[in-house]
């Protein structure tokens, strides 16, 4: 490595070390804002978040840092493999933010923070009109940010929405998603009608029996211990919308939500978020040393959370494993309920309004609805004030149901407070894990490992094959590295069809 490159690498890493400190503080404040921050304190806290985010942003706008980062990119062949990844990502980030001044960044940050505050108030009141103006501001800010970007060669023909998608899933385009989701509709919509017409009766009377918060906490503790979540490096609490945050290398936070009459909800939100948390805890330590630990995409992340939640968590083997503990912790619920009845109840298919409570089968349709609405907003075909009405139309079209309130409709998700392009990653994640679970099955009996509670074996395989290169490869390369195949929805659709045809005796 020549002296200029060596000096550039030193400057870059010193700057990123300082940026990490700001990031840690911002993550703590964001976690607080979504968990225990009082309603009237949110606006002021949002201002502090915007201020600190802007200070962190300024670090990357420093001429000395930009020059050093571009030297690394120009001389990346001199770097080791991980620093080469860093150089590529810094160049991509430079093009993304090159024309955004710190003043503009602060303006955008305030728009997104105000949107969160307005969404929280609108959701509480159940009135979309209280959020509509902020959603319009988010849409406008997002388009402005895209317009200010300098595109890479591969992004040259991307639409505005393609660019938004790429912020969450590099390389994914509307063309590929349209093909993927049209294929999903082609399989899932008619199959849903067959399931609705099935004579199979699944017992569900015990699902709404009331339980206490303390019982749900006991179950959350148990499930995280089964999954081998390291409580010396992580913690959890409750929030309105469950989420996971990697505050630092050894501080991973997650949340769940307790509903007194939906004990299964908190069980599966903790398994889902626990999957995200394991991904953070088990990523290679050297990724932190080279400042590339944040380069994994949301599709990768959702593949892991939904692997644990659905492919593992709703399997017969997992139900067999946890059934005794569910009976012990929720005796008023489980009295007279067999293991088989619990399995079927966990896999009941019933169109519902709330995405986070949706069954495994209909979940993809919830994502397609959001994706299609997002595209209409960004293209200008749909005015933000009409999003609530469009939401109802889509739910009627795909699921045959319609929300009676905005709280159970368009206001149920927090994601649009920070822009568009996130939602498709949930469905993409299901498709990724359906691909790599086939590779896992070739190496050991997954059902036997789950039934025995051998999560060391499962997590070990995930660490070696799924987590190891997630920060280092683009999604298309990553899934091919794991499976030897290009991305496809077919494994997911085959799994869904076989599983639910069997359950509903089609």
Residues serving a catalytic function are 273
CA separation (Å) from 220 to 160, 273, 312?
Answer: 41, 11, 16
For residues 437 and 444, give the distance between their C-alpha atoms in angstroms, rounded to a whole number.
Answer: 11
Alpha helices in 36-101 (DSSP H): 42-61, 63-74, 81-97
183: how many CB neighbours lie within 10 A of its CB?
Answer: 14
- What is the enclosing helix (H) or strand (E) of 245? strand 244-248
Helix axes 102-125, 42-61, angle to 10 degrees: 150
Burial class (CB in 10 A: 0-12, 13-18, 19+), 35: middle
Calpha distance 88→158 (Å, rounded): 20
Helices (H), 347-423: 363-379, 387-399
Number of residues assigned to the chain: 506
Q: Is the CB of residue 238 less than 8 Å from the CB of residue 257?
A: yes
| Residue with the two structure tokens 């309130």 | 405
Contacts of 186 (CB under 8 A, 6+ apart): none
- Give the number of other Cβ atoms within 10 Å of residue 5's Cβ: 20
Burial class (CB in 10 A: 0-12, 13-18, 19+), 336: exposed
Q: In what order do the strands lie in the sheet with 251-256?
A: 234-238, 251-256, 244-248
> Which phi and psi angles does 10 have, rounded to 5°?
-65, -45
Write the DSSP symbol of residue 385.
G
Residue 438: HSE in the Cβ half-sphere, 13 Å Cα cutoff: 16
Answer for the pair 448, 317: CB distance below 8 angstroms, yes or no.
yes
Q: Residue 83 burial by CB count (10 A; 0-12/13-18/19+): exposed, middle or buried? A: buried
Per-residue H/E/C for 117-177? HHHHHHHHHCCCHHHHHHHHHHHHHHHHHHHCCCCCHHHCCCCHHHHHHHHHCCCCCHHHH
């Amino acid at each position: 490595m020549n002296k200029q490159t060596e000096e550039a690498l030193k400057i870059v890493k010193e700057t990123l070390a300082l940026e990490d400190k700001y990031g840690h503080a911002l993550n703590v404040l964001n976690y607080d804002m979504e968990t225990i921050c009082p309603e009237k304190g949110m606006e002021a806290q949002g201002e502090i978040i915007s201020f600190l985010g802007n200070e962190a942003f300024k670090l990357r706008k420093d001429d000395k840092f930009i020059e050093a980062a571009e030297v690394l990119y120009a001389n990346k062949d001199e770097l080791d493999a991980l620093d080469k990844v860093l150089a590529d990502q810094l160049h991509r980030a430079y093009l993304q933010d090159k024309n955004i001044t710190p003043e503009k960044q602060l303006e955008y940050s305030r728009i997104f923070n105000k949107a969160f505050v307005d969404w929280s108030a609108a959701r509480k009141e159940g009135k979309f009109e209280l959020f509509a103006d902020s959603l319009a501001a988010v849409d406008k800010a997002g388009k402005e940010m895209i317009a200010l970007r300098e595109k890479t060669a591969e992004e040259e023909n991307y639409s505005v929405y393609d660019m938004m998608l790429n912020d969450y899933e590099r390389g994914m385009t509307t063309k590929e998603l349209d093909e993927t989701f049209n294929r999903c509709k082609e399989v899932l919509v008619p199959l849903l009608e067959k399931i609705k017409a099935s004579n199979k009766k699944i017992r569900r009377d015990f699902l709404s029996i009331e339980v206490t918060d303390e019982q749900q906490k006991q179950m959350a503790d148990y499930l995280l211990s089964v999954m081998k979540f390291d409580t010396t490096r992580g913690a959890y609490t409750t929030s309105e919308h469950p989420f996971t945050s990697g505050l630092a290398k050894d501080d991973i936070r997650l949340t769940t939500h307790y509903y007194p009459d939906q004990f299964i909800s908190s069980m599966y939100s903790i398994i889902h978020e626990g999957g995200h948390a394991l991904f953070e805890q088990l990523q290679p330590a050297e990724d932190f040393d080279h400042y590339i630990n944040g380069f994994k995409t949301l599709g990768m992340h959702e593949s892991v959370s939904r692997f644990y939640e659905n492919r593992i968590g709703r399997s017969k083997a997992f139900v067999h494993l946890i059934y005794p503990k569910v009976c012990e912790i929720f005796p008023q619920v489980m009295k007279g309920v067999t293991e088989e009845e619990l399995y079927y109840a966990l896999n009941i298919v019933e169109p519902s309004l709330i995405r986070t409570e949706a069954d495994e089968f209909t979940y993809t349709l919830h994502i397609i609805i959001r994706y299609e609405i997002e595209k209409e907003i960004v293209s200008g075909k749909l005015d933000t004030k009409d999003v609530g009405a469009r939401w109802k139309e889509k739910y009627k079209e795909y699921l045959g149901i319609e929300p009676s309130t905005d709280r159970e409709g368009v206001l149920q998700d927090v994601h649009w407070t920070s822009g568009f392009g996130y939602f498709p990653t949930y469905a993409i994640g299901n498709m990724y894990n359906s691909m790599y679970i086939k590779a896992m099955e070739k190496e050991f009996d997954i059902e036997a490992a789950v039934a025995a509670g051998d999560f060391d074996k499962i997590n070990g395989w995930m660490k070696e094959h799924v987590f190891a290169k997630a920060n280092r490869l683009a999604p298309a390369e990553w899934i091919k590295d794991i499976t030897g195949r290009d991305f496809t929805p077919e494994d997911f659709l085959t799994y869904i069809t076989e599983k639910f045809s069997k359950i509903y005796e089609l």
